[in-house]
Amino acid sequence: MIEILEIDHIVLRTTKLDEMLEFYIKVLGCTVERETPEETGLTQLRAGNALIDLVVVNSRLGAIGGGAPTKTERNVDHFCLQIKSMPEADIISHLENHKIKSGEFTSRYGAQGLGNSLYIQDPEGNGIELRCQI
């Protein structure tokens, strides 16, 4: 069984990066942790023990999520759950037993540094990243 430890990060898609940075930094007190705007269109903000990732819609990462956020288009790309470390094969087997399709484990950066993660979807199609710390 998978055991969730905490929310690692959320990913918000945006067409208003400057306004979003101003809000999350100046209003809510987040700090910039990492930026890869030219490579991926990603800015990662520290929010306590978690991250808020801002992804520019017309960037390489942002384009994966479809059109720009509107009242009827997605704004949240996915959220990431930090789970208790266990063998990756056991996690995949658990998901398969519940008829949940998953991607492959890949090393990605999150609130706790590098970790292996994979993506799944809930019944409404919301993206969920399950992450084990390395």
Query: For 58-92, what is each residue's pLDDT tens digit?
Result: 888 777 777 777 777 767 878 999 998 889 999 99
Q: Give 78's strand partners.
A: 11, 127
Asked if pLDDT for residue 134 goes beyond 70, the answer is: no
Structural domains of the chain, count: 1
Domain span holding position 85: 4-133
Residues of the chain above pLDDT 90, percent: 46
CA distance 124 to 58: 25
* Residue 24, domain CATH: 3.10.180.10
| 114-129 confidence digits (pLDDT tens) | 999 999 888 767 789 9
- Provide the 10 A C-beta neighbour count for residue 73: 12
